[in-house]
Amino acid sequence: MYTVMVVDDSPFIVDIFVTMLERGGYQTLAAYGGEECLDILNSVKPDLILLDIMMEPMDGWETLMHIKGNPELRGIPVMMLTAKQLTPSEAQEYGIYIEDYIMKPITHKELYEAIEGQLNRRRIIEMDIAMAKDAGVDLAVVEEYIRLRKSIDINKRLLKLLENTYKISDEKTTVGDEMGLAIRSMGMNLRFQEERLEEIRQEFIRNLTPA
């Protein structure tokens, strides 16, 4: 059974998500702010963290950076759960550190799918890594593969969220030059990452295929 930590400075919101998760068969941990979250993580390591952004005095982004700056905690997947609209600068600055950005309100089904999707992705990546290492693929290439898989997964979702938020594909909507440029630049970078990931996949295949 997976353990999920819910972090929000609103006890009401924490209770709602704890109830939703327990109904879905998850074990839960509750933290009512960033500092309490970090205190709990000193002794307990959950399988996943649902982290709200708009908290006081330590907001979600600051809490996230404390988690990812700690070698003992950085491997825990973090999903940002918030009603706050994402900005391109936040996507670029924090995208590498998170697994998903989920907008409130969210249904039970959507929450379970998001969590299971993340956990399944991690299992698939772990299997790919094990096969690559067994096949003798260079460790640096394997590490690049890990970074790219994670980065592409989250950036696809963040890019779609940004495009929907700012209606970047709607010809009738005018998006500021800086905003539109940032979103398009993110899309271009994503394409470069996908091309490089495909190159690495082909290298994996060559190593796994008998000569």
Per-domain residue ranges of the chain: 1-84, 121-211
**pLDDT for 145-158, tens place per residue?**
888 988 888 888 88
Decide if 61 contacts 37 (C-beta within 8 A): no
Q: 10 Å Cβ neighbour count for 68?
A: 17
At residue 171, the pLDDT reads 47
210 pLDDT band, cuts 50/70/90, is: low
Q: How far apart are CA 70 and CA 88, in angstroms?
A: 26
Residue 141: CA count within 13 A, CB half-sphere = 19
Most distant CA pair in the chain: distance in Å? 61
Against a cut of 0.85, is the pTM above it?
Answer: no
User: What average pLDDT does the segment 75-95 reach?
Assistant: 88
Decide if 54 contacts 142 (C-beta within 8 A): no
167 pLDDT band, cuts 50/70/90, is: low
Chain Cα centroid distance, residue 127: 19
Asked whether the predicted pLDDT for residue 85 surpasses 50, the reply is yes
* Residue tagged 């929450």 (tokens): 111
**pLDDT for 24-71, tens place per residue?**
999 999 999 999 999 999 999 999 999 999 999 999 999 999 999 999
From first CA to last CA, the distance across the chain in angstroms is 42
- CATH number of the domain located at residue range(s) 1-84 in this protein: 3.40.50.2300
